[in-house]
């Protein structure tokens, strides 16, 4: 199964690119982030015409995640659960989980869009860290099921200095702050495998290039889109890729698709 993650940066602006990419890449499950659309306005007919089942968790003008799959999911869960009943409700649409029947059991796939966290001197940074803490607690519970699990998305985390073209540019930024990177390591240390780093330790491996200052032609990028695999999913990992060429298309997203190929077959 080919599982992908792509921050599309607005479904309305990028629908033609999405249709072209789905036709070319043929992912079995595509996890989208930042669809910037309410559920009822998502262009499902164009995507269903390609043979995909569509599940969304949308929000007007901001955020929003989706799962597009050739196989209909058995179960869909929307929204990252709160840690306790006393927690304030989280209205931001950043998390959707699908459960799919595969040979030998089930496969859980999450499309997530982690908060950016900037500016760090506002409430946006504590919200980011709180969201990461909630994700860690949720993931620990899912890992206890000992089922294949894929956490796919735009994490807004630069894990290591060699995951960006110039670390000095990102000093103090929420994506590269020590607190952010520590939270990401805690999540990984639960037992997850970083798909791309499991297959290469090369530098200049990026998933995002800003629209400004010629970042794309200069390859001044960062790696912030990640596919994290539970041990049961990592055991089936056959290859990984970053479909970088999509960034060169007309009217591109500033992110590109990240790919994990897993040795599962639909049940």
Distance CA 230, CA 22 (A): 26
Ligand-binding site membership of 255 (annotated): yes
Domains of the chain: 2-262 (3.60.10.10)
- The number of angstroms, rounded, from the C-alpha of 131 to the middle of its chain's C-alpha atoms is 15
Judge if pTM exceeds 0.85: yes
Residue tagged active-site, from 57, 155, 225, 255: 255
Ligand-binding site membership of 74 (annotated): no
Average of pLDDT values for 225-250?
98
Distance CA 223, CA 217 (A): 16
Q: Is 255 a catalytic residue?
A: yes
Output the pLDDT for position 156. 98
Output the pLDDT for position 95. 98
Residue tagged active-site, from 28, 154, 173, 194: 154
Q: Is 241 a catalytic residue?
A: no
Contact call for residues 58 and 42 (beta carbons, < 8 A) = yes
Ligand-binding site membership of 28 (annotated): no
Contact call for residues 203 and 161 (beta carbons, < 8 A) = no
Output the pLDDT for position 54. 98
Ligand-binding site membership of 156 (annotated): yes
Asked whether the CA dihedral 118, 257, 94, 142 is positive or negative, the reply is negative
Q: Is 53 a catalytic residue?
A: no
Average of pLDDT values for 237-249?
98
Residue tagged active-site, from 52, 113, 155, 206: 113
What are the tens digits of pLDDT across the range 164-212? 999 999 999 999 999 999 999 999 999 999 999 999 999 999 999 999 9
Provide the 8-state DSSP code for 107: E
Ligand-binding site membership of 146 (annotated): no
What are the tens digits of pLDDT across the range 141-152? 999 999 999 999
The candidate with the shortest Cα–Cα distance to 2, out of 232, 252, 227, is 227
């Amino acid at each position: 199964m080919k599982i992908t993650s792509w921050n599309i940066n607005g479904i309305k602006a990028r629908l033609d690119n999405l249709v072209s990419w789905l036709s070319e890449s043929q992912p079995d499950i595509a996890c989208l982030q930042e669809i910037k659309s309410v559920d009822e306005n998502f262009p499902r007919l164009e995507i269903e015409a390609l043979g995909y089942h569509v599940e969304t968790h949308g929000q007007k003008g901001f955020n929003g995640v989706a799962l597009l799959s050739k196989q209909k999911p058995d179960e869909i869960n929307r929204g990252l659960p709160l840690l306790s009943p006393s927690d304030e409700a989280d209205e931001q649409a950043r998390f959707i989980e699908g459960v799919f029947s595969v040979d030998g059991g089930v496969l859980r796939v999450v499309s997530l869009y982690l908060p950016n966290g900037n500016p760090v001197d506002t409430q946006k940074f504590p919200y980011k860290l709180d969201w990461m803490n909630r994700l860690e607690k949720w993931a620990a519970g899912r890992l206890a099921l000992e089922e294949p699990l894929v956490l796919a998305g735009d994490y807004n985390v630069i894990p290591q200095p060699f995951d960006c073209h110039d670390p000095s540019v990102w000093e103090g930024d929420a994506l590269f702050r020590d607190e952010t990177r520590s939270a990401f390591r805690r999540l990984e240390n639960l037992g997850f495998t970083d798909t791309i780093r499991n297959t290469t330790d090369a530098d200049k491996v990026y998933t995002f290039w800003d629209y400004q200052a010629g970042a794309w032609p200069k390859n001044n990028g960062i790696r912030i889109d990640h596919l994290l695999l539970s041990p049961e999913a990592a055991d089936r990992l056959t290859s990984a890729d970053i479909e970088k060429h999509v960034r060169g298309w007309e009217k591109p997203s500033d992110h590109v698709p990240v790919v994990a190929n897993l040795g599962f077959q639909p049940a």
